[in-house]
């Protein structure tokens, strides 16, 4: 399994760019400092979010199923300390329980092959988060997907309400269902995705 983006990783040295995701910046503004935080960036790609948080003093496990993504990330962010790059499938990974201060899944969840596996991964990411820790989720949802820029890619789509419901027992600090219109560097085709974004805090019991 490649994760669906290997053509882009093969054609471009840094397919997703270096600017962190908007919700990662919201998280940083919310917490003030990430110094000393343990972070899991699940489906990190080339690590734009991992590198931003590591630059702020976090220790980041940057995890992706794509060998090419990790190779590009290691090369592009070679000088950034605090990133532990790992190749693996998040569905098989033995994640530590209640360990991470922050778990990020930016663009990962819709890549998973079925709704059942997607829901299972959400549960595993939640279990890997320590009490009072944060999850940052950004994913395609089922409202509007233009997939001409992603030939052969068939994402798994839940509704925005499904994602919000998955965090019903957490404190949801921010959630949105907005269109993202973008072009990718390997084919430059303009297209739009409806995106669920959720920043949530695990209620400590
Ligand atoms: C849309 S990209 C986002 C990359 C990065 N998070 C970013 O925002 O720049 C999704 C990433 O998830 C990875 N991925 C897909 N399925 C995966 C799996 N089962 N385990 C780990 N990573 C996976 C893909 O290889 C890809 O790099």
Summarised one tens digit per residue, pLDDT across range 24-69 is: 999 999 999 999 999 999 999 999 999 999 999 999 999 999 999 9
**Closest by alpha carbon to 9, among 192, 186, 187?**
186
Class of residue 148 by CB neighbours under 10 A (exposed 0-12, middle 13-18, buried 19+):
exposed
pLDDT for the residue 152: 86
pLDDT for the residue 1: 59
Which domains does the chain show, CATH number per domain? 6-201 (3.40.50.150)
- Cα of 31 vs centre of ligand 1, distance in Å, is 25
Number of H helices, E strands in the chain: 6, 7
pLDDT for the residue 3: 65
Nearest atom, ligand 1, residue 16 CA: 9
Which residues neighbour 8 within 8 Å (Cβ) at sequence distance 6 or greater?
15, 184, 185, 186
Nearest CA to ligand 1 atom 4: 45
* pLDDT-flagged residues of the chain (< 70): 1-3, 205
State in Å, rounded, how far the first CA of the chain is from the last one.
37
**Closest by alpha carbon to 21, among 200, 201, 202, 195?**
195
pLDDT for the residue 185: 86
pLDDT for the residue 148: 85
Give the pairing of strands 171-182 and 191-201. antiparallel
């Amino acid at each position: 399994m490649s994760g669906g983006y290997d053509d882009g990783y093969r054609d471009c040295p840094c397919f997703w760019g270096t600017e962190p995701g908007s919700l990662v910046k919201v998280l940083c503004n919310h917490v003030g400092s990430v110094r000393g935080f343990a972070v899991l960036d699940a489906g990190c790609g080339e690590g734009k979010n991992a590198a931003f948080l590591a630059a702020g003093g976090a220790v980041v496990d940057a995890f992706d199923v794509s060998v090419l993504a990790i190779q590009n990330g290691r090369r592009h962010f070679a000088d950034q300390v605090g990133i532990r790059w790992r190749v693996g499938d998040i569905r098989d990974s033995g994640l530590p329980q209640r360990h991470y201060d922050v778990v990020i899944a930016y663009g990962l969840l819709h890549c998973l092959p079925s709704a059942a596996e997607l829901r299972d991964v959400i549960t595993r990411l939640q279990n890997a988060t320590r009490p009072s820790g944060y999850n940052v989720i950004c994913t395609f949802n089922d409202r509007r997907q233009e997939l001409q820029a992603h030939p052969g890619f068939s994402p798994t789509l839940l509704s925005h309400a499904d994602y919000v419901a998955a965090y019903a027992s957490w404190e949801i600090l921010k959630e949105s269902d907005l269109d993202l219109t973008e072009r990718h560097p390997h084919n430059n085709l303009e297209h739009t995705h409806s995106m669920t974004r959720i920043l949530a805090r695990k209620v400590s019991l």
